[in-house]
Amino acid sequence: MIIIFIEEPERGAVERVEGREKTLVATSYWNDIVALAKTPTYVLSTAGYTAIVFMVGTLSWWAATTIEHSEANKLGLNSTALLDPKLKAR
């Protein structure tokens, strides 16, 4: 999605417009963090990736339990402990 909506300038175009000749300037770690935090693309991409990783981890942890509870509910059981072990092994 980012590749569709973000227009990237030609390499070096910003430096030419602003008249800067030297493109690399040493900055502090804190200045780099502030610059990243002010970049909406970086912030939203990081938040989106974090949400996806959280969702996949949650799904991998709880999917089997959810399926067991669903099977117990279908059979009208009050506990997954009452499920047939052969059904649990599927």
Round to whole Å and give the CA distance between 86 and 90: 7
pLDDT bin (cut points 50, 70, 90) of residue 21 is low
Crossing angle between the packed helical segments 40-74 and 29-37, to the nearest 10 degrees: 60
Mean pLDDT of 59-74: 92
Give the residue from 85, 64, 83, 61 showing the smallest Cα distance to 74: 83
pTM over 0.75: no
pLDDT in tens, 28-56: 999 999 999 999 999 999 999 999 999 99
| High-pLDDT (> 70) share of the chain, % | 90
Number of residues assigned to the chain: 90
